[in-house]
Chains A and B, each alone.
Chain A
Amino acid sequence: MPQPPTVPSTFTSSTDEPLRVGGMTLASRLVVGTGKYASHAEMAACLEASGTDCVTVAVRRERLINAAGENILNHIDLSRYLLLPNTAGCYTADDAVRVARLGRELLRELGNPGAEWVKLEVLGDTRTLLPDPVGTLEATQRLVAEGFTVLVYTSDDPVVAKRLKDLGAASVMPAGSPIGSGQGILNANNLRICMEYLKEGDPDYPVIVDAGVGTASDVAAAMELGVDGVLLNTAIAHAAHPLRMAEAMRAACFAGRQAWLAGRIPKKLYATASSPDEGRIARPA
């Protein structure tokens, strides 16, 4: 009797390279956020199911009252996950630089190799959470000068992307669509131009789509464009079933990457038969 097919529990390719960014090597091409989960336990399960080995964290004030609340670090295995501290919620370059320095101090104390990293966000306004390109450029320059490895959240504007790379960003991370919007990749052509600009003469320069993912096909679509990785949070954390979505994201990331490496067929207007014309018993149309 034939055996039922087995579903692979892991997705790896023996012929693919790992993601290299800012002096680090990541086994997974998904970077997953740790915010907005119903519980720390759910977060931990989703991180594991997603296959990621790099997770983002935010820097916030300690609560002076009810300080007994459990710290998220009790639920993140620091021997397993590289932490990527962000500057989320900053609307000026000054604030982003301050938060980056505080994140570095926290991670140095923890001995986490992500200490010299920062996911830089300088936002323009609270409604769209779109990046402020002027503040983002300024903060990138200052943080690079201070020795930070800067992974920078930006829009899908190819000119800004190029300027950020020129300033020394270790990775440019264009948004697919606004943060947490779930709209997926709104302008694939802009991303294609970003890729051209950023990888011209430097094919290994890492480009990561950061923000906007709504579901698994968005991750696959981004990876099929040839980006090196995808960073997401809300799409898993706020799915009806986060753990299942984390598994879907892992599979989608692998599928999209494999499809990009495999090289898709060109799109054509008319059909091409898959079965041979020769030997048909039917009369020609």
Chain B
Amino acid sequence: MEITVIVNGQSREVPAGSTAADLVTALGFAGRPLAVEVNEAVVPRLRLADCRLKPGDRLELVTLVGGG
């Protein structure tokens, strides 16, 4: 069974029971500089594996880019 979450503004199906860490890995972002926000609250990297996703969760996966 799959649930729908919103990742960086786009709908995405993930297996029910997935954690935020699972999603980061599935997207190929493991090991990259990344910060994760779930429903507008930052989830520290060490807690991503404890963060079980619920239908409709809104995630932001961000990194650093050039800026002034």
Contact = CB atoms under 8 A, between A and B. Distances in A.
Nearest to A235: B68
A83 B65 CA distance: 11
Contacts of A104: 42
B7 A64 contact: yes
A58 B37 contact: no
Interface in B14-68: 27-29, 32-37, 40, 42, 44-45, 60-68
A105 B62 CA distance: 10
Interface of A is mostly: mixed
Interface residues of B, number: 26
Contact of A35 (B7, B10, B45, B66): B66
A52 interface: no
A85 to B, nearest CB: 7
B8 A33 contact: no
A98 interface: yes
Contacts of B28: 67
Interface string A176-207: 00011000000000000000000000000000
A262 B63 CA distance: 43
A235 to B, nearest CB: 10
A64 B44 CA distance: 20
B66 A106 contact: no
Interface string A78-108: 0000010110100000000010011111101
B64 A73 contact: yes
Interface footprint category on A: 35 or more
A88 B35 contact: no
A234 B61 CA distance: 27
Interface in A142-181: 179-180
Contact of A34 (B7, B37, B67): B67
A62 interface: yes
Interface of A: 33-37, 43, 56-62, 64, 67, 71-73, 83, 85-86, 88, 98, 101-106, 108-110, 179-180, 211, 231-234
18 contacts: A34-B66, A34-B67, A58-B66, A61-B61, A61-B62, A62-B62, A72-B65, A73-B64, A85-B64, A86-B67, A101-B42, A102-B37, A106-B63, A109-B34, A110-B33, A179-B68, A233-B67, A233-B68
Interface of B: 7-10, 27-29, 32-37, 40, 42, 44-45, 60-68
